[in-house]
Amino acid sequence: MRVNWNYIKLACLSVSVIALYGFADHRGKQRKVSDISIKFVGDENLYLTEDAVNKLLIQNYGSLKNRDKEQLVLNTIEEVIRSNDMVKNAQVYLTVNGELISKIVQRKPIGRVEGVTKFYLDDLGKRMPLSRYHSARVPIITGKITGKSLEDAYVILNYINEDDFLRKNVIGIHIEEEGSYQLRFRMENFVVNLGGVDDLNTKFKNFMAFYAKASKDKSLEKYAIVSLEFNNQVVCTKI
């Protein structure tokens, strides 16, 4: 009977690979966490610090450094980090060297509510607490704060953030009442009566045309109120 050495070699090679994989897997499970790294993705403004994240992990798990990798449930650690009010998303993973890395995406404030209670409005239209580590430079929302008026303020803020000029110059939204909103600008003395949130594109297009002409005529300082609430018109009240 002729022996097929190629089959024997292939079988031996397969056994060796399986054995090496099993050995590596066993060694990997025995390896401990060598270090912990907290990384913030995107925004440089930190509403949450590395120390605060580490404290959150210690409160829930104790010290993770030198912990057996086999003891860690990464999905659970992610959920703990996401439970912080400043966190939008988190990804946790282990490197081959045993480093535990947490990549964190913070929530993004786009407006700050100054009412009976103070909080941010984030880019999803949800309430976000103020941070003790950093104060966001965003438009201030004042006036008659209700659930509906905040929804409208969110619509206005989203529009403002899509326009470079408005994003840099609008510093406040005052809520006269539901359906009546007033904008304050950084460098100008006048206020802009926006009315409701209907047809914002036309209203701001008309405003930009007015602003360009008044800037050219050097007459901006003459106005106290610029109203956009009337149908396709810009109505100005002089000082």
Q: Is residue 27 part of a domain?
A: no
Q: 7 pLDDT exceeds 60? A: no
Q: Rounded to 5 degrees, what are φ and ψ at 122?
A: -90, 180
In angstroms, rounded to a whole number, what is the distance separating the alpha carbons of residues 152 and 140? 14
Residue 234 belongs to some domain of the structure = yes
* CATH classification at residue 54: 3.10.20.310
Whether the Cβ atoms of residue 175 and residue 169 lie closer than 8 Å to each other: no
* 141 and 205 housed in the same domain: yes
Q: Are 136 and 109 in contact (CB under 8 A)?
A: yes
67 in the same domain as 125: no
Residue pLDDT, tens place only, 28-83: 455 788 888 999 998 778 899 999 999 998 888 888 887 887 878 889 999 999 99
Q: What predicted TM-score, i.e. pTM, was given to this entire model?
A: 0.80
130 alpha carbon, distance to own chain's centre: 13
214: its two tokens: 């008044």
> Domain containing 156: what range?
109-238
Helix 147-161 / helix 200-217 crossing angle, nearest 10 deg: 60
pLDDT of residue 67: 82
Beta bridge partners of 223: 238
Residues 6+ apart with CB under 8 A from 150: 113, 121, 125, 141
